[in-house]
Amino acid sequence: MTLGKSQDSVKYAAMTRSTLLPLQPSRRAFLHRSAQVAMLGSALGLAARPARAVPLNVRSLMLDHTHTHERIDLVYATGEHYVPQALGTLNYFLRDHYSGEVGQIDPQLFDLLHNVRQALGSGVPLSYQIISGYRSPLTNARLRSTRGGGVASHSLHMEGKAIDIRLPGVPLAELRDAALSLKAGGVGYYPRDQFVHIDTGRVRTW
């Protein structure tokens, strides 16, 4: 690790110097001197300092399930990478609470939740209340027959691409508007049942 870094700084010093001083007696001597420069710099605490780490985009979620009464607070992604274990935990957390079946939730849905919270600009980490996550086809059909309107026959809940939420402390219309502002999927407003449906499907609203 340390070796790698010092090699990098030698390379970097070499690059910098070669642009400034194109005529070098020999590459070997040049590298040797560059290494000395790098070591000197290092001794002075100037060079060879690891480049300032790019702040990792660590994304977390706090969820509170209204049916199972389970709660989680976890980091699910860092930069470009989703945390596999966290995704597994979230899949289970958002299981079909009627049948217990665990679905595969589209990780982009977690980013959507994260981004909605960011869009709201609250400095306080707020916990979502989850009304519904994954739904098995059977559960969806049952809900459709008992509730009718509001339950689509090809609900994106069955594909793990939809979630019904509310955010205590944030008016429901404000939550909806934050989701709409992202133009990142579907947003359904259900003031009577006090939840907003968001999904990673086409951009649409109802």
Could you tell me which of 58, 126, 125, 67 has the C-alpha nearest to residue 93? 67
Whole-Å CA distances, 47 to 11, 32, 36, 93: 12, 16, 11, 48
Beta carbon nearer to Zn ion, 11 or 147: 147
Query: What does the alpha-carbon distance between residue 125 and residue 60 come to, in Å, rounded to a whole number?
Result: 10
- DSSP-derived pairing of the beta strands 195-199 and 58-65: unpaired
Question: In the complex, what is the shortest distance from the CB of residue 45 to Zn ion, in angstroms, rounded to a whole number?
Answer: 56
Residue 106 binds to Zn ion (criterion: CB under 5 A): no
Q: Which position among 14, 164, 185, 186 is part of the footprint of Zn ion (CB under 5 A)?
A: 164
Among 21-29, 45-53, 91-99, 162-170, the segment contacting Zn ion (CB under 5 A): 162-170
Beta carbon nearer to Zn ion, 18 or 115: 115
Among 73-81, 116-124, 179-187, 189-197, the segment contacting Zn ion (CB under 5 A): 189-197
Among 41-49, 99-107, 116-124, 195-203, the segment contacting Zn ion (CB under 5 A): 195-203
Q: Which position among 48, 186, 197, 200 is part of the footprint of Zn ion (CB under 5 A)?
A: 197
**Residue 199: which H helix or E strand, with range?**
strand 195-199
Q: Which residues bind Zn ion (CB under 5 A)?
A: 162, 164, 197
